[in-house]
């Protein structure tokens, strides 16, 4: 087993374990911390895939901006969460059944797909092409702008909720 394979399994285990910790955490703040660890595991997988742009974007955008935004929103709205609500959802069995069905479908799809592998190196100007695609009006510029507007709206909403109390 090579070092790259060991690192792949390590980062995969970190991402998967943190994702499980995120959805099973009883406190929202702890779930946010688990989410940041899952983002770190995914960034490590991007590094192993030799995709430095996506690894940096994962670290800066997701771990940095979105993670801090979620933790900030949790801290601002913590007073609202003091209400006594049931800790267990009564429909947990339905969510578990739906997740199991989705898992079976995804495993079947992965099993049926013919995965072609190549040993060709990435083109030299791949980062340049990616940058041009991101700012191209017909490329990925719109999803990035929509995400930024959505994040600003979430922050304004969190501040508004806190200020009303």
The larger pLDDT score, comparing residue 117 to residue 15, is at: 15
Residue 13: its pLDDT value, please?
96
pLDDT digits (tens, 9 = 90+) for 131-162: 787 777 777 777 778 888 888 888 788 778 77
Range in 41-45, 48-52, 108-112 with the lowest mean pLDDT:
48-52
Structural domains for the chain: 3-81+127-164 (1.20.120.1200)
Question: What is the distance between the alpha carbons of residues 40 and 19, in angstroms, rounded to a whole number?
Answer: 11
Structure tokens at 10: 């390590």
**CA 85/CA 81 separation, integer angstroms:** 9
Q: Are 18 and 38 spatial neighbours (Cβ–Cβ below 8 Å)?
A: yes
Residue 86's pLDDT is: 61
Q: Which tokens is 4 given?
A: 């790259």
**Residue 139 Cα distances to 5, 52, 70, 90, 125, angstroms:** 33, 20, 28, 43, 17
For residues 142 and 75, give the distance between their C-alpha atoms in angstroms, rounded to a whole number. Answer: 30
Task: Check if the beta carbon of residue 47 is closer than 8 Å to that of residue 130.
Answer: no
Give the pair of three-digit tokens for residue 32: 């946010």
Number of H helices and E strands in the chain, helices first, is 7, 0
The pLDDT confidence band at residue 20, using thresholds 50, 70 and 90, is: very high
* pLDDT confidence band for 98 (50 / 70 / 90): very high
């Amino acid at each position: 087993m090579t070092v790259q394979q060991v690192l792949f399994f390590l980062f995969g285990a970190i991402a998967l374990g943190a994702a499980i910790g995120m959805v099973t955490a009883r406190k929202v703040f702890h779930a946010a911390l688990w989410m940041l660890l899952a983002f770190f595991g995914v960034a490590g997988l991007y590094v192993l895939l030799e995709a430095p742009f996506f690894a940096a974007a994962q670290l800066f955008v997701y771990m940095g901006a979105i993670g801090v935004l979620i933790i900030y929103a949790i801290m601002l709205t913590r007073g609202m969460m003091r209400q006594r609500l049931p800790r267990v959802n009564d429909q947990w069995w339905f969510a578990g059944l739906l997740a199991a069905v989705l898992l079976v479908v995804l495993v079947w799809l992965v099993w049926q797909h013919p995965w072609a592998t190549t040993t060709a190196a990435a083109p030299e100007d791949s980062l340049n092409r990616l940058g041009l695609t991101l700012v191209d009006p017909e490329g990925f510029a719109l999803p990035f702008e929509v995400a930024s507007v959505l994040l600003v709206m979430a922050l304004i909403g969190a501040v508004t909720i806190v200020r009303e109390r």
